[in-house]
Amino acid sequence: MKDEIYPTNLYLSPEKDELFEKGPWPKPFVFNEDVVNVFDNMISRSVPLYREVLACAAHWTKAYYQPGTKIIDIGCSTGTFLELIGRFLQQPATLVGIDNSQAMLEKAREKLLPIQQIHQLELICDSAENCSFENSSVVIINYTLQFLSLQVRQKLLKSIYEGLVPGGLLFLSEKVKSPLPQFQETITRHYEAFKAYNGYAQTEIERKKEALENVLVPLTETEQLQMLKDSGFQQVDSLIKLHNFLSLVALK
């Protein structure tokens, strides 16, 4: 009942992320089978306010969804957001998940079986930059743009802008960096304390950090906003920020 008005109850698989505890761990970081198997646990222990961000995205999706259009989740991983919005949205909709990892989509397909009784579901295994966003009223892209090259990020955001219907919404979450090296250092230390609090050992934190170097390349908040503006989005606002993680909305 509570979930109908404030959807925080995520469907997360319980397999514990111990990937960087004992080798061999993925370096450079990739979304391989081993990562996929523990991904729900990994992301919910590594992204500050993960549950709140997904709940917030569900609320904004419900508010901006236009009947007859698509809701698209780019980098949908194991389908956690689509499953949440599938339960939260009271009217049938077309839900599209895009991810270039087949293993992620296999997990998603399993997780999304129940919501297919209500919604039309399309899971597309391809790189987001090859996909069309035509006739979408809500596009979600959480913690995915950060893995693409800067050129591809800009191209993808432009193509999302073009595909959205007028009044359509982009919900974007990213890891960001501070423009001030001193602040960046303090934020990083605080973020690592958050990870330690969530049960990661210092060695695990260090190994993953090394593996993510040059793979996950964060922008500053200002650079991220500029990229959205350069893609056509003139109305942009920030919703959530904790440590080095930010969620924004942008309107067409």
Ligand X SMILES: C[S@@+](CC[C@H](N)C(=O)[O-])C[C@H]1O[C@@H](n2cnc3c(N)ncnc32)[C@H](O)[C@@H]1O
Q: State the residues that interact with ligand X by CB under 6 A.
A: 31, 43, 75, 77, 80-81, 98-101, 104, 127-128, 142-144, 147-148
Q: Which does 99 bind (CB under 5 to 8 A by kind): ligand X, ligand PRE, none?
A: ligand X
CB atoms within 10 A of CB 218: 18
CB of 81 to ligand X, least distance (A): 5
Q: Provide the 3-class DSSP secondary structure of residue 65.
A: coil
Q: Per the annotation, does 77 bind a ligand?
A: yes
Out of 143, 161, 171, 233, name the contact with ligand PRE by CB under 6 A. Answer: 143
CB of 166 to ligand X, least distance (A): 26
d(CA 232, CA 45): 34
CB of 51 to ligand X, least distance (A): 10
Contact between 107 and ligand PRE by CB under 6 A: the answer reads no
Q: Per the annotation, does 44 bind a ligand?
A: no
Residue with tokens 């077309």: 94
Tokens at 50, concatenated? 């993960």
d(CA 155, CA 169): 17
Contact between 105 and ligand PRE by CB under 6 A: the answer reads no
**Is the Cβ–Cβ distance between 54 and 84 less than 8 Å?**
yes
Q: Which is nearer to ligand X, 11 or 236 (CB)?
A: 11
Tell me how far apart the terminal alpha carbons of the chain are, to the nearest angstrom. Answer: 33
